[in-house]
């Protein structure tokens, strides 16, 4: 796999009171849209290996940098990153292209947004493909409260919420080292460390395992965070409890046909009873960690295209 793949030139599109930087390919396939939603701390560039195969298979591929990322708008107000705004951006993007619905594919936080699209705007979602992050069951307690109880105050989701600004500053000051340490594969198993995982990665001078991508590719991610800082993207985490309340008003059942792909070496565990919530799901896995589109691009593309072609 070469590292010379580039995304098409982006367009700035005004939707939902923000401007999104959107990379678009396969305009000749208009009428057959697929929207790819990146995770944290990523960039639309994370889908570079998927774009061309999807275009060749007949899809109009639309890849936004979501709010808080790249050259998209980074609102100041924390609540502007709640799930209503994040899914609202995608609905407005569909409207911009005059599409009633699209296939959505998400990775990590992008998968969370896609799951929520199917609950909040089911009529706009044709089918879904989600990578690494399974459906998140809405339990009786708001998510941050629940996580703090089970995973402690140093768990990064909790820390981001309980100590606003602390991690942001450290990640900003160590952006290059943090990204180099985070984007690794085949990392040897470690006993859980003390302190907050993301801060530890930002401060560590030792990178474990192997690099997921070339320095040239990683520089695309790094430059995005050097431009905006980490606060806008971390603000997504600061809306988890707000999202829990917003999602309490809709049915928790996902009706769309869905493909869920896990990385077998990922730290995020599968949801055993996912079919209770997503009855029309196919579950697959690949020998990969969390950065599955970049670790196993050919195998993933084949899996996705086979499923879409069914």
Residue 2 has pLDDT above 70, yes or no: no
Question: Is there a domain that residue 242 lies in?
Answer: yes
Which pTM does this prediction carry?
0.97
pLDDT in tens, 128-152: 999 999 999 999 999 999 999 999 9
Instruction: Please pick, among 89, 108, 154, 168, the residue that the annotation labels catalytic.
Output: 108
Instruction: Please pick, among 60, 85, 107, 290, the residue that the annotation labels catalytic.
Output: 290
pLDDT in tens, 162-217: 999 999 999 999 999 999 999 999 988 877 778 999 999 999 999 999 999 999 99
Question: Is there a domain that residue 4 lies in?
Answer: no
Question: Is there a domain that residue 132 lies in?
Answer: yes
For residue 298, which of 39, 50, 35 has the smallest C-alpha distance? 50
Question: Is there a domain that residue 275 lies in?
Answer: yes
Whether residue 168 lies in the annotated active site: no
- CA separation (Å) from 34 to 22, 24, 61, 94, 102? 13, 10, 5, 10, 6
Number of independent structural domains in the chain: 1
Whether residue 108 lies in the annotated active site: yes
Question: Is there a domain that residue 198 lies in?
Answer: yes
Q: What is the CATH number of the domain that holds 48?
A: 3.40.50.1820
Q: Which residue range(s) make up the domain with 257?
A: 10-309
For residue 41, is the peptide bond before it cis, meaning its omega torsion is within 30 degrees of 0?
yes
Query: How many C-beta atoms lie closer than 10 Å to residue 273's C-beta?
Result: 9
Question: Is there a domain that residue 1 lies in?
Answer: no
């Amino acid at each position: 796999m070469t590292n010379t793949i580039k995304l098409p030139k982006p367009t700035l599109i005004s939707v939902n009171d923000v401007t999104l930087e959107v990379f678009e390919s396969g305009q000749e396939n208009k009428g057959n849209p697929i929207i790819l939603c990146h995770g944290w701390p990523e960039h639309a560039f994370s889908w570079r290996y998927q774009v061309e195969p999807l275009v060749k298979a007949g899809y109009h591929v639309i890849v936004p940098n979501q709010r808080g990322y790249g050259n998209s708008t980074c609102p100041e107000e924390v609540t502007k990153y709640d799930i209503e705004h994040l899914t609202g951006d995608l609905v407005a993007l569909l409207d911009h292209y005059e599409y009633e619905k699209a296939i959505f594919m998400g990775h990590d936080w992008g998968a969370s947004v896609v799951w929520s699209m199917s609950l909040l705007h089911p009529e706009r979602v044709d089918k879904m493909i989600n990578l690494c992050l399974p459906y998140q069951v809405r339990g009786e307690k708001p998510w941050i409260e629940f996580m703090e109880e089970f995973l402690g105050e140093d768990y990064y989701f909790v820390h981001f919420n309980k100590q606003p600004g602390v991690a942001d500053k450290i990640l900003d000051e160590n952006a290059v080292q943090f990204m180099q340490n985070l984007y690794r594969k085949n990392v040897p198993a470690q006993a859980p460390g003390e302190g907050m995982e993301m801060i530890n990665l930002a401060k560590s001078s030792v990178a474990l395992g192997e690099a997921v991508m070339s320095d040239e590719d990683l520089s695309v991610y790094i430059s995005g965070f050097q431009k905006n800082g980490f606060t806008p993207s971390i603000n997504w985490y600061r809306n988890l409890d707000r999202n829990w309340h917003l999602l309490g008003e809709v049915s928790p059942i996902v009706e769309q046909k869905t493909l869920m792909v896990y990385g077998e070496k990922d730290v995020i565990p599968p949801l055993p009873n996912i079919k209770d919530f997503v009855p029309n799901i196919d579950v697959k896995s690949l020998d990969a960690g969390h950065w599955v589109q970049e670790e196993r691009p050919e195998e993933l593309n084949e899996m996705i295209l086979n499923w879409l072609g069914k």
